[in-house]
Amino acid sequence: MEKIRVTIWNEFRHEKTKENVKAIYPDGLHATIKAFLDKNEDLEVRLAALDDPDQGLPDDVLENTDVLLWWGHMAHGEVSDVLVEKIRQRVYSGKMGLIVLHSGHHSKVFKAVVGTTGNLSWGRDQKEVMWNLMPSHPIAAGIPDHFTLTTEELYCEPFYVPQPDALVFGSWFEDGFIFRSGLCYLRGAGKVFYFQPGHEFCRSFYNPYVQ
């Protein structure tokens, strides 16, 4: 069977500069994601980072990626517009799926592919209850009707994005706010998923349901 070729792109700056982030994700949060994805025999997973040559995504890597995961936060502006356009074209042509994580809502990639500002509100880290709003969706397979993240960054509505093609998860936060936390978009012939957990100071990528 042909394996699904996954590339996890991480800005990979906080983990090098902030001790408390390094303590949670010593090899970068992308390496933590790879460690659990590698348990799937049908996936072939590689890592890419902003400071790698060609910002981690030279043409031969991009052209051999079936699903791209994207995590960025402090350096969205450094990502090359040429690269963003190549990613957009590859998604729209149906050759690659895109999963945008957490603060990637403000990445050039998310904004260009989905067509949005990606603006939202945020607040202090707190308990989040993530609800499975679409149990029939493949992304929600095996997920209970809800699960709790002990600490995650508050993201809240209004989230200025187009109506999603599927709303898979919705979250409630301890301070009373709600957020659409798992959204699917069809763009061109491609598929996009935005998933909210993954603040660099929290441990969400160790949660089995997030994984």
Kindly state the smallest distance separating residue 70's Cβ from Zn ion, in Å.
14
Judged by CB under 5 A, the stretch of 21-29, 61-69, 139-147, 153-161 that binds Zn ion is 153-161
Dihedrals phi, psi of 29, to nearest 5 degrees:
-65, -25
Q: Is 128 in the site for Zn ion (CB under 5 A)?
A: no
Q: Is 204 in the site for Zn ion (CB under 5 A)?
A: no
x/- string (CB under 5 A) for Zn ion, residues 6-45? ----------------------------------------
Kindly state the smallest distance separating residue 55's Cβ from Zn ion, in Å.
21
Kindly state the smallest distance separating residue 73's Cβ from Zn ion, in Å.
6
CB-nearer residue toward Zn ion: 103 or 107? 103
Q: Is 152 in the site for Zn ion (CB under 5 A)?
A: no
Cα 60 from Cα 91, distance rounded (Å):
16
In the chain, count H helices and then E strands.
6, 9
CB-nearer residue toward Zn ion: 91 or 149? 149
Cα 131 from Cα 147, distance rounded (Å):
7
Assess contact for 170 and 146: CB atoms under 8 A: no
Dihedral sign computed on CA atoms, order 68, 57, 62, 91:
positive
Q: Is 199 in the site for Zn ion (CB under 5 A)?
A: yes
Q: Which residue is nearest to Zn ion (CB)?
A: 199
Return the number of other C-beta atoms located less than 10 Å from residue 150's C-beta.
12
Q: Is 153 in the site for Zn ion (CB under 5 A)?
A: yes
Which of 138, 146, 120 minimizes the C-alpha distance to 209? 146
Return the number of other C-beta atoms located less than 10 Å from residue 208's C-beta.
9
Assess contact for 199 and 153: CB atoms under 8 A: yes
The footprint of Zn ion on this chain (CB under 5 A) covers a number of residues equal to 3
Applying the rule CB under 5 A, the residues between 85 and 114 that interact with Zn ion are 103
Tokens in use for 158?
Answer: 């209004």
Kindly state the smallest distance separating residue 71's Cβ from Zn ion, in Å.
10
Where on the chain is the footprint of Zn ion (CB under 5 A)?
103, 153, 199
